[in-house]
Chain A
Amino acid sequence: MISQAERRDAAVRVQGLRKHYGAVHAVKEVDLTSKAGEVVALLGPNGAGKSTMVDMIVGLTKPDSGIVQVFGLPPRQAVLEGVIGAMLQEGALLDDATVIEMVGMVASLHKNPLPVREALRKAGIEDLARRRSTKLSTGQKQRVRFAVALVADPDLLLLDEPTAGMDVRRRREFWHSMQEFTASGRTVMFATHYLEEAEEFADRVVFLRDGSTVADGSVAQVRSLAAGRTLRATVSGVSEPAMRALPSVVNVEVRQDKVAVLSSDSDTTLRALLSRFQHARDVEVVGVGLDEAFLALTSRTRTGESELS
Chain B
Amino acid sequence: MSPEPSCSSSGFPALFYLLEAVIFGSQWPARSAIDPGAVLLAAMAGWGVLISGMLVGARVVNEREAGWQRQLRLTPLTGGGYLLGKVAVGMLVSIPPPIVLALAAALFRDVRLDLGGWLFVTLVITLGGTPFAILGLLIGQFGNKKNTQQIIIIGMLVLAIFGGIPLDALPAWFSYIGYATPSCWLTDLGRAGIEMGGDPMRAGMILLIRCDADRRRATA
Q: Are A and B physically bound partners?
A: yes
Question: Is the C-beta of B32 less than 8 angstroms from some C-beta in chain A?
Answer: no
For this complex, into which size category does the number of interface residues on chain B fall? Answer: 10 to 19
Q: Which residue of B lies closest to A94 (CB)?
A: B68
What chain B residues lie within 8 Å of A106 (beta carbons)? 71-72, 75
CB distance A88 to B67 under 8 Å? yes
Q: Which residue of B lies closest to A152 (CB)?
A: B75
Question: Is the C-beta of B73 less than 8 angstroms from some C-beta in chain A?
Answer: yes
The docked-state distance in angstroms from the alpha carbon of A96 to that of B66 is 11
Interface string of B56-75 (1 = CB under 8 A from A): 00000011011110111111
CB distance B75 to A94 under 8 Å? no
What chain A residues lie within 8 Å of B70 (beta carbons)? 60, 88, 90, 92
Instruction: From the candidates A59, A82, A92, A152, name the one contacting B67 in the complex (CB within 8 A).
Output: A92
The docked-state distance in angstroms from the alpha carbon of A109 to that of B75 is 6
Question: Is the C-beta of B107 less than 8 angstroms from some C-beta in chain A?
Answer: no
What chain A residues lie within 8 Å of B73 (beta carbons)? 59-60, 79
Question: Is the C-beta of B116 less than 8 angstroms from some C-beta in chain A?
Answer: no
CB distance A92 to B76 under 8 Å? no
The docked-state distance in angstroms from the alpha carbon of A58 to that of B76 is 13
Question: Is the C-beta of A272 less than 8 angstroms from some C-beta in chain B?
Answer: no
CB distance from B85 to the nearest CB of A (A): 10
Question: Is the C-beta of B77 less than 8 angstroms from some C-beta in chain A?
Answer: yes
CB distance A94 to B66 under 8 Å? yes
Interface residues of A in 77-101 (CB under 8 A from B): 79-80, 82, 84-86, 88, 90-96
The docked-state distance in angstroms from the alpha carbon of A109 to that of B77 is 6
**A110-B68 CB under 8 A given contacts A94-B62, A94-B63, A95-B62:** no
Question: Is the C-beta of A111 less than 8 angstroms from some C-beta in chain B?
Answer: yes
What chain A residues lie within 8 Å of B62 (beta carbons)? 94-96
What chain A residues lie within 8 Å of B71 (beta carbons)? 88, 92, 106, 148
Q: Which residue of A lies closest to B62 (CB)?
A: A95
Interface string of A24-50 (1 = CB under 8 A from B): 000000000000000000000000000
Instruction: From the candidates B66, B67, B76, name the one contacting A79 in the complex (CB within 8 A).
Output: B76
CB distance A79 to B68 under 8 Å? no
What chain B residues lie within 8 Å of A96 (beta carbons)? 62
CB distance from A116 to the nearest CB of B (A): 14
The docked-state distance in angstroms from the alpha carbon of A93 to that of B63 is 8
The docked-state distance in angstroms from the alpha carbon of A109 to that of B71 is 11
Instruction: From the candidates A60, A91, A93, name the one contacting B74 in the complex (CB within 8 A).
Output: A60
The docked-state distance in angstroms from the alpha carbon of A79 to that of B68 is 16
The docked-state distance in angstroms from the alpha carbon of A111 to that of B77 is 10
The docked-state distance in angstroms from the alpha carbon of A116 to that of B124 is 39
CB distance B75 to A92 under 8 Å? no
CB distance B74 to A79 under 8 Å? yes
Interface residues of B in 164-195 (CB under 8 A from A): none
Residue of A82, A93, A94 with highest tally of chain B CB at under 10 A: A94
What chain A residues lie within 8 Å of B76 (beta carbons)? 79-80, 82, 109-111
The docked-state distance in angstroms from the alpha carbon of A130 to that of B98 is 31
What chain A residues lie within 8 Å of B66 (beta carbons)? 91-95
Q: Which residue of A lies closest to B65 (CB)?
A: A91
Residue of B70, B75, B76 with highest tally of chain A CB at under 10 A: B75
What chain B residues lie within 8 Å of A152 (beta carbons)? 74-75
The docked-state distance in angstroms from the alpha carbon of A92 to that of B77 is 16
Q: Which residue of A lies closest to B63 (CB)?
A: A94
CB-based closest 10 A-B pairs: A91-B67, A109-B75, A92-B67, A92-B71, A90-B67, A109-B77, A91-B66, A80-B76, A94-B68, A86-B74
11 pairs, A vs B, C-beta closer than 8 Å:
A60-B73, A88-B71, A90-B70, A91-B66, A91-B68, A94-B63, A94-B66, A94-B68, A95-B66, A109-B72, A111-B76
Which residues of A are at the interface with B, using a C-beta cutoff of 8 A?
58-60, 79-80, 82, 84-86, 88, 90-96, 106, 109-111, 148, 152
